[in-house]
Structure 1
Amino acid sequence: MPILFAFSPWADIGMDEPAYKLARLMDKCMWYDHDNGGLGIPVSWAMSGQTMKAIVKTDPSIKGTIRYRTANKSVYSSWDQSEIVGSTYHASGLAHPCLNDKYQEAYIDGFVKEDIKETNHTMWDLFERSPRGFCPSEKLFRGEAFGSDAHGQHNKGQVFQLENGLKVIPTVNEIMPSDFDRYHKAEILIDAIIEYCRRNHIGRVLLSADVDFWLDDNGFDRIKWMYLKAMERSNEIRMVNASALVESSWSIGYAGLKSLDNFYQSIGLTNVQQHISTWTNAAGNLEFIDWGRSGRSAEFIKAHTDKYERGINHQQWVDGAKLQLSKNVYQNICGTVFYDNRPQWENFMQDCFDNNLSNAWNILNDA
């Protein structure tokens, strides 16, 4: 059987120019080969909620394209279509590197889940679609973290199912499609994917990369040729969307697990923050965390959680509306505690971060 290969670029974009470029890239991929009855290129577009709003704002036509070209015809033909995958609305990560267990749980329940719901609402409002999956900002797992023995190698290509029905797909970052120096031709990238899968004895692989790397003038051509080369070698590899990896999984995964933290621990990731990469950090380490911002962000989360708990335990009167508003203001900058190795992203939007955090604190203190 051929290897099932999915490509899922991730985007958190709020500015007009890159948002327009992303909309045009999506449009080209979705309408590719339409005149010959083709379903487009099966890219799994993983986007934050604010990205979804931004692409529609700059290019309203993309709304109709997404609604029409992601409409599933049947289970198997839907594998060959583009799909929309949700993320947190403000690119907030599932794990916060400066919080201990107590506050980490409060952060997930009180902050992250709201951010996910906001993305889901935006997706339905704009495209009349429910998300085909979820892509956290820390989407790129370090391949080595899954072990080098037979069990670990199997895990790299596995789909894990948790007790609550959530299915988790580890991505592969030993191969970065954004590394143009190594993969200047589509054939080289396809060869690398096949070799990786054969070496690790896996039959499915998910690649992910920041969408910024695909927004230049040649981005569409790179994706198109990657798709065409996979089709030429369809007996060895088949390019499908990420849902195909889940729907074709032969494993029931780890039944009985209730949380992502427990799932990570079950496959040897005892310290989640040490084995995730945020944004495009393919090394899977914490090198590109702005520790100053992250610490200031964590202090707000702790103070917000403490005030909320005092309020619900009747230890202190709390203005619930202001408590929520302070959180909403904080969320505007929660994704900026991470950056990647491009110099322009270090200290990104510093004034915006400072102003929003200051306003969030003022509202929280007044609550």
Structure 2
Amino acid sequence: MDFSLTPELEELREWAHGFAEKEIRPVAQEYDEREEMPWEVLQKAAKIGLLAYAIPEEYGGSGVSSLMASLVISEELFWGCAGIATAMGGIGLASLPILEMGSDEQKKKWLPLFTDPDHVRLGAMCLTEPNAGSDVVNMSTRAVKDGDSYVINGTKTFITNGGIADVYVVFAKTDPEAGYAGVSAFIVDGKTPGLSGGKKFKKLGLRASHTAEVHFDNVRVPEENRLGPEGMAFLGAMKMLEHSRPTVAIAGVGVARAAYEYALGYAKERVQFNKPIIANQGISFPLAEMRTKIDAGRLLAYRAAWLADHQQSCNLEGSMAKAFCGDMAMEVTTQAVQTLGGYGYMRDFPVEKWFRDAKIMSIYEGTSQIQKRVMARLL
């Protein structure tokens, strides 16, 4: 076993941390307040290849293929700002399913759109519906075969980049009677007639990312845009979630680490009763617990990534990491606010933002309860 990063991973960590420190942190509060997409930050990230780092070199990306490398980069970006990091990850929402399920022809056609350093193009993955979240089999969006095309009708919700994406991957029922085997996935150009953005949601956290409904009204998609065989998309979606859950776990680590570091610095400088407040056991012990839980979460996420990178299933381990880190991020950021007392509650200090951002970590990509259901089934 080796608990140190390789020189290559350390270089990636420093690359991402430098960008987060220089380009993300200074504007994080501003974009959070305005609830706007950070287009200028996205353009700077595109210039240095930080948006398309996970796309293979043959399609114009940086070719960072290991899940461990993605975790190292993601932790630093989420340390910078969870909302901006989520906006930056918008490319992966469409490129990942294309990489996982697409044919060579589909990869050659669509992936280079995301790797152009001069143009930021966003992706979106449309899975969740108003009445079907984790209950995928209950989705009502339909894709009906019509000649050499499919016609899609339905509504998706809570979609990152919904209505503003350039490329969508849409999950729809092609056989309503077949259960999980009746779900298919399609690549849809954002300019396709009948595709429109709906309500943009005003969120508790992640305010620098765009979340909205997406409507499909007789959206015609050529058969060549179907990802994989008809009826096999549910298995592809589960495989994607297996690999994305460790990434969400490390996002929780990044947010928690940011809050912990700030609270630690504050506790060393804040003087009450003629001594720094960290000299009080009531402050120092919670800080010790925060650090312990952050390290535990990171190690759980790293273990899941190691398994995936060695072509082993990380379904159980990824759910363990995601559930633990989602709850841990909420605990740590709550304690960070408590450490600052009244100042922690004020928007002049960044801990309240990390507190708001942390809550989503135990909800999206499957709630903590869904993760435990996955774990229990695997046990």
Higher normalized contact order (CA 8 Å, seq sep 6+, divided by chain length): 1
Give the number of the structure whose residues are more often strand, by fraction. 2
TM over 0.5: no
Give the structure-1-normalised TM-score. 0.28
Give the number of the structure whose residues are more often helix, by fraction. 2
